[in-house]
Structure 1
Amino acid sequence: MIKLESHNHYDLHTYPNGLRLITVPMEHTKSVTVLVMVATGSRYETKDINGISHFLEHMMFKGTTKRPGTLDISQELDSLGAEYNAFTGKEYTGYYVKCAADRVDVALDVISDIFQNSKFDSKEMDKERGPIKEEINLYLDSPPRRIGEVFEMLMYGDQPLGWDISGTKENIDEMQHADLLKYFENHYFDKNTIVAIAGNIQTEEMKKKVEKYFDNIRDGKRAEPTETQEDQKEPRFKVEYKKTDQTNINLGFRSYSRFHPKHEALEILGMILGGGMSSRLFVEVRERRGLAYHVRSGVTAYNETGNFVTYAGLGNANLIEGLKVILTEHKKLIEEKVTEKELNRVKDQIRGAFVIGLEQSDDLASFYGEQELLEHKIETPEERLAKITAVTAEDILEVAKDVIRPEKLSLAIIGPLEGDNEEIKEILNSW
């Protein structure tokens, strides 16, 4: 059994205004990560402002009343040798600084400043339209990245969970300054925010510092996202034509939310199927048949739903064979119970990767922060590992039979083929 360091215990503190602070002291590190997370993302948007969560994330680095320009922010953080960035998802947005532990005051000062005092200058907003559109172009030109967006558009359709996080280039051009300010006011406030600090820190000291630096955070009332509608009754299939030397596919099934009691069993199922070089798909698709360089499976879980998906980059001439092999390997999971030997090997694989991830302050801050933000409860690493250990071969078979079903199947393809491909339709409909 893998033993975890005792320093991975945490403290959750809620200030009178509703702002939450999670501290995770780590004795054997010289670094600290300050992560600020907000419970908003593209799921909270309407179609006319789709992309605004991501646009706002960019604008947070464009100057504050104390640090008037982008360079004032970047030079100060670069002088620390810090790693810093931001990210936008469908259900949350985050901003982080990772630096030497003795510079945590600077990290807190900067990140609290951009969070509370960003200017959102309209001229800077107009300039930033260009970089955001080029970021969208970058994704459009990268099929392994783009295929995930096409897949979720197909699976969830024309509703927030099916829209691109970055929005469309047309939306970016038409976004108004007033839209940005309104979105910020509606979502960036005390009760919707978590500060997670992990590293070489003292909890009581961090409580005082966060109270000091976030003394100007706004008050507000949490907005709920649009409920995701799910009405799929048969396999879905979509092709995005692109002249490429490789055909990229995402083949997946509607599955469970992050709260589902069988979530851990589904994660193990994904590892058995396509998690690593010893997984079933890697061995069959790449090693035995040479059909792809990259093939993997995994789980995406949202608050209301989720998907169990396999990605493969197949040679254009290998698409049909590769698709048949991938579907066959899925079918085996619902026909044959996994052996105890394979199950235990995959559990050990998950445990090992999980523990390695906990060595880094940024991963640890994310582990605790994301749970509290989205689930309003926290499982410790020990509790998470106990759930993994408790999964049985019977659980795996039950989950496979529940998830791997034709009426839950979606197949997205990017490559040089026409969308109305009868051979692929026949494969899906007969499966």
Structure 2
Amino acid sequence: MVQSPLNRIVHRTVLDNGLVILFVENPAADIIACRMFIRAGTLKEPPGFSGLAHLLAAVITKGTDTLTSLEIAEKVESVGASLGADTAADYFLFSLKTVSADFPDLLDLAGQLLRNPSFPEAEVELERRLTLRSIRSQQEQPFAIAFDRLRQAMYLNHPYSFSSLGTEETVSQLTAEDLHNYHQTYFRPDNMVISLAGRLSPEEAVRLVEKSFGDWQNPPVLLPDLSLPFLTPQPQQILIEQETQQSIVILGYLAPSVRRGEAMNANPSDYAALKLLNTYLGNGLSSRLFVELREKRGLAYEVSALFPTRLEASQFAVYMGTAPENTTVAVNGLRAEVDRLCHTKLSDEELRRSKNKLLGQYALGKQTNAQLAQIFGWYEILGLGIEFDTVFIEEISAITPTLAIDAACRYLSEPYISIVGPASALSPLSLALCP
């Protein structure tokens, strides 16, 4: 049992089969939210099978040995519940939300879907066609093109190099047997976390989960070892010609994982420092990039920064949409703002505002049952433990101007640059980009 900073008591139980149960009691509303995490996701896709986890998420709710897709939909919709699956870089997620009275039946249904999906051929074919359509649609979106090419350059043959949708080549070849093999490999109780929040007692929550999942046995084989390539920064410029109304400019930097020191020779404080710098640079209308490049200089239609939480090496990126004639100025403007982080310490006031913004948004993201179930299950499946809820706040609070500038100098020096725009905007860039 762990108490979160907002006085939420998180109960943790491990069943005999290794399945982890997390539960937060919240009697304020008659709603129970459940998040079921599997250590899978795109990170665990075999080479040449990009998009496999996404396709599995699309069809896992479409049939079991005893239920058709229509019967499943009727069971969910008849009680006004929500049930669905999704995949992320580091995990697979099955979500459920319903009123308390219907929760036992819906949890049992979720157990059937997770344990015994049938992957009907017709449903697999339909979802494969829809996925291919989505991939082709992304190939027409300038930001998606620029970000996709940037990701491929940064991650090369690492699983993170691909969109969760996969590619036309890989998705076209995926079969129901591939889905079955992936499911049999990773969907097992000792590789799973079930996180719940709502109007239940801790004892009742464990009893219900045990009823639906307690007799699930692990296969006799161990989970496969994950062999990933070692990533080293090799910055490059990627220019993609497309007749667009605006140029998309993205600067990317390899950055540490959430494991804080276990990858890229990171210092333990680097993850928190970069989270804070990401907030300072690109979070909201008061962020440095928005104020300096959009409000003061009028360069940007949109401008922001991102630093996703990843188990393996992440990426710190800043991006902008700008008028084609401003492309070169925009690239140099973005670089100057990022480079500034390594040359000019944040003032005490800048640091204070950024911390308040980041921690305030973090607190607001833990209000609903769904948010509570999500964040505690997410930390557990990443191997951070539910205590990371407290650790993260402490690490952000402890960041000093010196720690922030040290992290910036360590990671944000030489960027990968990806630009999509018309030929007239790209032609001078090879000579005009900052050294």
Under a length normalisation based on structure 2, what TM-score does the superposition of the two structures give?
0.91
TM-aligned CA deviation for residue 123 of structure 1: 3.0
- One-letter amino acid of the counterpart of residue 253, structure 2: F
Partner of 1:181: 180
Quick check: 1:90 aligned with 2:89?
yes
Quote the Cα distance in structure 2 between the aligned partners of 1:377 and 1:368. 8
Q: Which amino acid is the alignment partner of residue 147 of structure 2? A: G
1:384 CA drift (Å): 2.4
**1:296 Cα shift?**
0.9
- 1:216 deviation in Å? 5.0
The alignment partner of 2:37 has SS state of strand
The corresponding residue for 1:403 is 411
Deviation of the 1:370 alpha carbon? 1.3
Tell whether 2:324 aligns with 1:316: yes
* 1:425 matches 2:424: no
Name the structure 2 match of 1:213: 212
Q: Which residue of 1 aligns with 2:44?
A: 44
Q: How many angstroms apart in 1 are the aligned matches of 2:423 and 2:31?
A: 50
Q: CA deviation at 1:258?
A: 0.7
Q: Is it true that 1:347 corresponds to 2:355 in the alignment?
A: yes
Alpha-carbon distance, 1:35 to partner: 0.8
Counterpart CA distance in 2 for 1:19 and 1:383 is 24
Secondary structure in structure 1 of the residue aligned to 2:308: strand
Q: CA deviation at 1:333?
A: 1.0
**1:428/1:186 Cα in 2 relative to 1: closer, same or farther (>3 Å)?**
farther
Q: Structure 1 residue aligned with 2:393, among 376, 385, 390? A: 385
Q: Which runs of 5+ in 2 are unaligned?
A: 261-267
> Matched residue of 1:300: which SS?
coil
Deviation at 1:309, TM superposition (A): 0.8
Contact 2:259 2:384 in 1 (8 A): no
Paired position in structure 2 for 1:229: 230
Offset at residue 392 of structure 1 (A): 1.0
Q: Report the counterpart of residue 240 of structure 1 in structure 2.
A: 240
The 5 A counterparts of 1:32-431 are 32-69=32-69, 71-215=70-214, 217-220=216-219, 221-233=222-234, 235-260=235-260, 261=268, 262-379=270-387, 381-406=389-414, 409-417=415-423, 421=426, 423-428=428-433, 430=435
Distance 1:32 1:179 in 2: 33
Separation of aligned partners in 2, 1:302 and 1:427? 34
Stretch moving more, 84-93 or 409-418: 409-418
Instruction: Work out the percentage of aligned pairs sharing the same amino acid.
Output: 25
Q: How well do the aligned residues superpose, as a CA RMSD in angstroms?
A: 2.1
Stretch of structure 1 that moved more, 94-103 or 204-213: 94-103
The verdict on how the C-alpha distance between 1:241 and 1:217 changes in structure 2, with shifts beyond 3 A counting, is: farther
For the Cα contact (< 8 Å) 1:256–1:301, is it kept in 2?
A: no
Distance 1:27 1:53, change over 3 A: same
1:352 partner letter: G
Paired residues in the alignment total 422
- Runs of 4+ displaced beyond 6 Å: none
Does structure 1 retain, via aligned residues, the 8 Å contact 2:17–2:214? no
Where 1:366 maps in the other structure, the secondary structure is helix
1:151 positional shift? 1.9
- TM-score w.r.t. structure 1 length? 0.92
| Amino acid in the other structure paired with 1:159 | H
Q: Distance in 1 between matches of 2:22 and 2:106?
A: 16
